[in-house]
Structure 1
Amino acid sequence: MSQLRTVQVLGGGAGSSAHVSSLAAGLVARGVQVTVCAPAGSCREHGLPATGARFVAVPRRSDPTAVAALRTACTGADIVHAHGLHAAVRAAIALSGRGIPLVVTWHTRAHADGARGRLLRLLERRAARAAAIVLGTSWELVDRARRRGARDARLAPAAIPASRFPDAPDDGKARAELGAVGRPLLVSVAQHGHETLLDAARGWRALDPVPLLAVAGEGPRAGALRRRIAAEGLPVVLAGGPEDIGGLLAAADIAVLSGRGEAGPLLAQEALRLGIPLVAARADGLPELVGDAAELVPYGDAEALSGAVVRLLGDPARREQLAGSGRERAAGWPTEDDTIAHVLSVYDELAQPLTAARG
């Protein structure tokens, strides 16, 4: 049997990037030829050189030049696997009329109202209907794909790489570098809806000692975050990119999620696996992911978010309970090997008819 050839199309989100790095390494180790198409700069940022996959820089756009580059990269592929909505739409356009099966993984959903919301729904329909199989990381996403016309939508939880978790973190050093010695350390990630997080941080200034909130995730929201932090004198620091989340969490007292986006479920998974108590907004399938192993509050409710954090800081027994519940829940999640084996079974299912036709 000839070597299976796959192309992974990546949009650049933190959760999907971590998943693709893990998936590419696992597939290469199992004899699959892997090409990763992603925006320039993603190669080193997400550890792709170490996976053994071929990397092709493709702009994060759907203009003719970007689509042509992706179409060329997909030539000769047996399976193309797109991760995220916009990557899926670009792949669907590039594969039009070529007969190459498209697998799409939805890691999270985009949120918008008005004209942009209507456009996103159109893109979701395009992506769902173009895919031979849609894999959703939560039942919420699976149901959404089915509503958008997916022929075949399945649950496929995505494990995150174990390499993101420090083996023996120096908690004291990390806290000292952040300025969190002798005060609680809260860790979050930049997301849509960060205004709620900063509103909550205003309430924490009344505590003694004042907790420090470290927010990971440099990106388009960093400028707005910095401006508001400086203007209001908030006890908040920006602390690196998404790749730094594991190290930050290892030093944290509480993880906090207020918004929406790919980085949220990723932080939630890492927090529970590390036994860090989590306070999170009910968004992006998080209730399904964490169950009763976290404190959940309504999305957009800064008062509820602030209150939940304050209560946890004053209740060591509850923090210990959540830490244990989180580790227990995380132990039941699929491993990287489980995730790779499941994806490979999907590829084999789609490749068999192609092999028979060629024979």
Structure 2
Amino acid sequence: MTDATSPARWSGTVVLLLASSTGGVGQHVRSVARGLTAAGASVLVCGPAATQDQFDFNGVGARFTPVEIPASPTPADSRAVAALRRALAAETVQVVHAHGLRAGLVAALARPAAPVVVTWHNAVLAGGLRGQLSRLAERIVARSVRVALGASTDLVARAAALGAADARFAPVAAPPLPAPRRRRAAVRAEFGVAADQPLILSVGRLHPQKRYDVLVDAAARWRVRIPPPVVVVAGSGPAYLQLAARISAARAPVTLLGHRTDVADLLAGADVAVVTSDWEARQLFAQEALRAGVPLVATAVGGLPELVGDAALLVPAGDVDAVDAAVRCLLDDASLRADLARRGTERAATWPDEEDTVAALVALYMEVAPDHAGPATPDADTPSTGRR
């Protein structure tokens, strides 16, 4: 991060609100809470108690108050609205910043006196009644908030189309991974990967949106390669049983690892990273793979093309043949793997980092709550986020 993006001091109180999360949104809120606290803000995180257990917002200097917001709309939303109102009544709050559509809806229904900012992290993909309810929630949120932030430009366009008066792009930076704790050989030995065998890695929540069924079906074809690659998927979620059954039926060389805290180690041992999602904004694993110099195959959906540029092989969503061909191409061409590894690290160096993200948020909070800005950091030149 350059001095031009060093965050100003901001002494106000911000409420960061999130719904049920086991992955990227929770990691992002923790990162933001840490950065805002360092910038002088008083940070109150509100969300399900399970998010505090997993992400330990208290450990980065924030306070935490439980507000149980389930992943899907339910009658319990009224209790979440009441709980948020109680939390807000106990504070002098300058900004309420909700993360995700579910949290955004609760914030909108609570009608706080403070300006509401909502970051849209995901697109609505569900059909049927759930999809109808989610699209209704989108309209309510878009028309109720002071500023709608989109983690990818398609989300910004969606918010604007639904009536957001002020919609802006706000890229979400993946928190940097720690250095690997194990050598490459040790990581590969855990999974029985021979020296000449490729190790293919994917990391993400086991959810239908991630389309791991596509990866499993492609991997089943790789069983006849010599030597056959080993495919591992790190993550937990509701699709575990269906995926395990599919892997067994297809006799695919795929191992579901469950939740892992050693993604840096897994990347150190991997030869290829794969993302097969139907939609993503700026997926954290895609960022982690490029930063680590691991060649990436990813679907050309949402914000992924603008994130990776020409530093990954992009394929259509839901296309087993395309995933199969792209991975084979990488496995058969060491020079292409090396070229993508180089381009990946170069591309990653151009992305905003966590400090840039916090600097932009401080500038936004100072804009929407100007009476609560603290003194600027000496020699800091915090840019305005601008209106779009």
TM-score by length of 1: 0.92
Report if aligned partners of 2:272, 2:296 keep a CA contact under 8 Å in 1: yes
Report if aligned partners of 1:216, 1:244 keep a CA contact under 8 Å in 2: no
More relative contact order in 1 or in 2 (CA 8 Å, sep 6+)? 2
Cα separation, 2, equivalents of 1:108 and 1:57: 23
Aligned CA distance change for structure 1 residues 176 and 34 (closer, same or farther; 3 Å): same
Runs of 4+ in 1 over 4 A off after TM superposition: 261-264
The answer to which structure has the higher helix fraction is: 1
Q: Does 1:7 align with 2:15?
A: yes
Q: Could you say what the CA RMSD is over the residues aligned between the two structures, in angstroms?
A: 2.1
Q: Does 1:88 align with 2:104?
A: yes
Mean Cα deviation higher: 138-147 or 180-189: 180-189
Deviation, structure 1 residue 120:
2.4
In structure 2, the gaps of 5 or more residues are: 1-8, 71-75, 374-388
Number of residues paired by the alignment? 352
Q: Secondary structure at the match of 1:293?
A: coil
Deviation, structure 1 residue 141:
1.3
Q: Does 1:137 align with 2:151?
A: yes
2:69 maps to a residue whose letter is: R
Cα separation, 1, equivalents of 2:102 and 2:56: 22
Name the structure 2 match of 1:57: 66
1:200 maps to a residue whose letter is: A
Name the structure 2 match of 1:202: 220
Aligned-residue sequence identity (percent) comes to: 45
Cα separation, 2, equivalents of 1:283 and 1:52: 36
Aligned CA distance change for structure 1 residues 154 and 215 (closer, same or farther; 3 Å): same
Name the structure 2 match of 1:18: 27
Name the structure 2 match of 1:113: 127
Report if aligned partners of 1:14, 1:263 keep a CA contact under 8 Å in 2: no
Deviation string 1:294-334 (CA, Å, 9 cap, x unpaired) is 00111000011011101100100001111111111110001
Deviation string 1:271-295 (CA, Å, 9 cap, x unpaired) is 1111111001112211111111100
Mean Cα deviation higher: 238-247 or 338-347: 238-247
Tell me which of 217, 240, 247 is aligned to 2:258: 240
Mean Cα deviation higher: 223-232 or 277-286: 223-232
Report if aligned partners of 2:217, 2:250 keep a CA contact under 8 Å in 1: no
Deviation, structure 1 residue 168:
5.1
Q: Secondary structure at the match of 2:188?
A: helix
Deviation, structure 1 residue 243:
4.4
Cα separation, 2, equivalents of 1:58 and 1:243: 26
Q: Secondary structure at the match of 1:158?
A: coil
Aligned CA distance change for structure 1 residues 240 and 48 (closer, same or farther; 3 Å): farther
2:245 maps to a residue whose letter is: R
Name the structure 1 match of 2:273: 255
Deviation, structure 1 residue 33:
0.7
In structure 1, the gaps of 5 or more residues are: none
Mean Cα deviation higher: 282-291 or 109-118: 109-118
Report if aligned partners of 2:18, 2:103 keep a CA contact under 8 Å in 1: yes
Aligned CA distance change for structure 1 residues 52 and 20 (closer, same or farther; 3 Å): same
Q: Does 1:349 align with 2:367?
A: yes
Deviation, structure 1 residue 40:
2.0
Name the structure 2 match of 1:128: 142
Q: Does 1:146 align with 2:160?
A: yes
Report if aligned partners of 2:13, 2:43 keep a CA contact under 8 Å in 1: yes
